[in-house]
Structure 1
Amino acid sequence: MEVLGGSRPLQQLADWLDPPSYERLQLRANLVRTLNRAAGASGRPDQLLHRNVSVRTVRTCRINAHVYEASAVTCENHRARAVALRLERRRGHWKVTALEIG
C-alpha cells in the first residue's frame, strides 16, 4: 500500500515479489499516480488514493511448509480494501507469487 500511496519506491520490494507480481504492482502504481495527479490538479486532494492506510485485520493459512496464503483488510479515509497474497519459499527466500489488491 505504501508503493501505491507513493511513500515507498517499488524497487524496494523487488526482492520480495516474483516478476509477474512486480509488473502488476508497477502497473497499478502508475495508474494510481496518474489518478492522484488528476485529483490534485482538480483541487480535490480528498480524492487522493492510498493515503493514510491502516491495516485492520490479517489472516494467514499454511498450505505447506513452503507456501502460505494471506489476506488483509486495509482502510483509508472511509474505504476498506481487501488484499490477498501467496508467499512461497524459493531458494531459502520468501517471495510473493500472487498479489491481489481490491
Structure 2
Amino acid sequence: MTIATATPSEATHTAVGPGPGVIPSALRTPTGQFTPHRSLREEGLRQRELELQRHIRSLAGIVAQACVEAERGLRPARQLAAWLDLETYGKMARRADLAERTRTDRSAQTSPRTLQARCCQVSPTVFEASASVRCGGRVRALAMRIELRRDRWKVTAVEMG
C-alpha cells in the first residue's frame, strides 16, 4: 500500500507498513498470538521433541496390542518382558495366566488391532500414554506410564479397561 506524500506534480510515494506495535499476520498463530521466528537450534529441538513423541506413541500402541494379545492367549506373556519393567511384567503375566485358566471359548480368535495411541509428557523422562485396541466386536482402552530407565523407554504401569 502506498500513499502520496506530496503534490501530484512531485509524484513521490512512500511505502507504509503496518506501523509500530502491529504484528504482521504471517507471524500470528491461528489464535492471533505472536510467534517470533525460531532459530535453527530451537527448530532442531522442536523436531527432536516431535520425533520423541512419535516414538512414544508408537511404543504405546505396540505394547497395548501385545498386552491384549497376551491376555487373550494369542501371544506368550514372556514376550512382554522387553517392554515392561519387572513389577508390571509380573502383573501382566498373572493377568494372562488367570485369563487362560478362566477362558471358556477356545476357538480361533481374531487378532487385536491398535486403533490409536496418544501420549503426554509429564517430565523429560516420563510420559503417560493411552491406546485403544479393537478385539473382535469390542474396543479395549489401556493407560500406561512410560519412563526412561538406563537409556531405554520402559512401561512402568499398565491399566486395562
| TM-score normalised by length of structure 1 | 0.79
Residue identity in the other structure for 1:9: P
Q: Which one of the candidate residues 91, 94, 111 is aligned to 1:24?
A: 91
**In structure 2, distance between residues paired with 1:26 and 1:87:** 18
Large movers: runs of 4+ above 4 Å: none
Question: 1:76-98: CA deviations, max 9, x gaps?
Answer: 12111111101100111111111
Q: 1:95 to 1:76 in 2, by over 3 A?
A: same
Match of 1:65 in 2: 124
Bigger Cα Rg: 2
Q: Which ranges in structure 2 are unaligned for 5 or more consecutive residues?
A: 1-67
The answer to whether residue 147 in structure 2 is matched with residue 80 in structure 1 is no
Cα displacement (A) at 1:9? 2.0
Hey, what does 2:154 align to over in structure 1? 95
Give the secondary structure class of the aligned counterpart of 2:114: strand
- Give the Cα–Cα distance (whole angstroms) in 1 for the partners of residues 134 and 74 of structure 2: 16
Secondary structure, counterpart of 2:105 in structure 1:
helix
- Structure 1's unaligned 5+ residue stretches are none
Q: CA deviation at 1:27?
A: 1.2
- How many residues in Structure 1 have an aligned counterpart in Structure 2? 94
By relative contact order (CA 8 Å, sep 6+), the higher-ranking structure is 1
Match of 1:39 in 2: 105
Over the matched positions of the two proteins, sequence identity in percent amounts to 38
